[in-house]
Structure 1
Amino acid sequence: MEQKYAVPALDRAHAVLSLLTEEPYKWKLSDISKHLGISKSTLYSLLLTMERLQWIHRDRNETYALGSSLGDFGSAYFRQFDLAREFRRLAEPVMRILQESVQLARLDGSDVLYLAKIEAPSPVQMVSGPGVRIPAHATGLGKALMMEMDDEQVCRIFPEETLPKLTVHTIGSRDAFLQELETSRGRGYCLDIQEGVMGFCCVAAPVRRRGEVVAAISCSMPIHHWEGKKDIAVREICALAKQLSTTI
């Protein structure tokens, strides 16, 4: 990763967390400052912010340990693996009904990150296996992951009005993307008609945990299958998303 894009405050916070992971409730501000080579004034502001965010906890002896927010992050991290396991179990019969591939993904910055895929026995496939990233605005999955965000959240993810086009059908502006999200909210699912990959269409729906969208699933298929399978794909993907939302 290019260092010119590094954020020094995050590097320092990471160093503090690493130290507290090894030895909780041992380090005071002055000790951390000496050990990590961070000035006391800089470290004071950093620790106050981390404490406010509940990344760390300070006891009455002025020593620090990891905070409750990190426990929440850790639980969420491991839940995604539980979700992937449940997805593989529940998506298999959906793939057999549709005879089309079914994917699971989460949002990572402005990209969709694929977590799992149940692949259909077809010689024609999208490149969408675990670990693959695709710009969120160009996919049904990305729309499903962002469909419940407000405009301000979307603008933070896409600070520029112009969005890169992957195909001639990709949404090319933030305003158009916001309109598409509004349409998706109204119908409860999202579509991608050759927007991410020419020759492929998909339907996607969000997976929720405690009312929050934590992932999304989709079914992708060659465009020549679309008209014949669209309605059943919408029904099966929405049902699978609802089922996953209640099992994780």
Structure 2
Amino acid sequence: MHKPTERVLRILLTLASEKEDLTLTEISEKTKIPKSTISPILSTLVDMRFLAKKSEMKYRIGINSFIVGEAYIESTSFLEMIKSYMTEVVKECNEICQLGILQDNKVFYIAKKDPKQSIQLMSYVGKFLPIYSTALGKVLVYKNSEEEIKDIVGDNMVPLTERTITDIDDFLNEIETVKNNGYSFDLQETSLDSKCVAVPIEKGGKVIAAMSVSIPNFRSTDEKLKNAIQVLLKYKKEIESYFTHNIYNEEDLI
């Protein structure tokens, strides 16, 4: 690879995967790029609006990075097809529907459809969340071997809430339940304000994406969760049938 280009992209991916803005020192530590090398790269990315710099000397993703990402999403026909089914999921559940893929050992949220609710969950395309705390993450890795899952999850299972699974053996037990059910739950493991259910989207026996419905706690009844599961399973089947009858390359989605 071309080393200077690789450094630029590593910086962008690092900032995209972090919830908080980062200082130059923090970016250097996370990317393993010397501060003297990183400084002019950051200045150029800020000047070209791929990064934004806050007054306290912290950096975040800028507007032009968003524009590039949106252009990618709009140009991906299979993603647009899935989003059309996500719209139907929202119509039937009246809750937010999200699509995620596995990227850099995290769940990357690649699309979402919002319901017509006066009070709804806040989420955004482009965020990264841990595999072990999310319903999407659990179905994305449920076909992997135990050793592969351990490698993907890593050693540092930081809790997001008091309900987050932080022991790898407990997580592997959870994956066995996912294998038996064909769907997964996030029961306040990512946020105490919501519950979530997800299903895998598969092609040729391989999980290529995952689709979920998230419900605020005050609307999250057993009946509503059960309905969300049935709706997701129905549209999972339709999406996978579409893949079966159309020429599809994994690169078209990710």
| TM band (smaller chain) | 0.5 to 0.7
Could you say which residue in structure 2 is the equivalent of 1:178?
172
Q: Deviations over 1:207-234 (max 9, x none)?
A: 0112100000000011122223011111
Q: Deviations over 1:109-134 (max 9, x none)?
A: 22110111110112433333210111
Q: 8 Å contact 2:131–2:153 — kept in the other structure?
A: no
Cα deviation, residue 83, structure 1: 3.1
Mapping of 1:36-115 within 5 angstroms? 81-115=76-110
1:94 match: secondary structure: helix
Return the letter of the residue paired with 1:88.
K
Could you say which residue in structure 2 is the equivalent of 1:232?
227
Cα deviation, residue 197, structure 1: 1.2
Q: 8 Å contact 1:84–1:104 — kept in the other structure?
A: no
Q: 8 Å contact 2:132–2:153 — kept in the other structure?
A: no
d(CA) in 2 for partners of 1:233, 1:216: 14
2:132 match: secondary structure: helix
Return the letter of the residue paired with 2:191.
V
- RMSD over aligned CA atoms reads 2.1
Q: 8 Å contact 1:194–1:201 — kept in the other structure?
A: yes
d(CA) in 2 for partners of 1:209, 1:82: 16
d(CA) in 2 for partners of 1:126, 1:111: 21
1:137 match: secondary structure: coil
Structure 1 runs not aligned, ≥5 long = 8-76
Q: 8 Å contact 1:114–1:128 — kept in the other structure?
A: no
Return the letter of the residue paired with 2:137.
G
Percent of aligned pairs sharing the same letter: 28
Structure 2 runs not aligned, ≥5 long = 1-10, 12-26, 34-71, 244-254
Q: Is the deviation greater in 94-103 or in 221-230? A: 221-230
Could you say which residue in structure 1 is the equivalent of 2:61?
none
Return the letter of the residue paired with 1:247.
Y
Q: Deviations over 1:30-60 (max 9, x none)?
A: xxxxxxxxxxxxxxxxxxxxxxxxxxxxxxx
2:78 match: secondary structure: helix
Matched, 1:165 2:159: yes
Q: 8 Å contact 1:102–1:220 — kept in the other structure?
A: yes
Cα deviation, residue 183, structure 1: 0.6
Larger Rg: 1
TM-score (norm 2): 0.65
2:126 match: secondary structure: coil
Cα deviation, residue 106, structure 1: 0.2
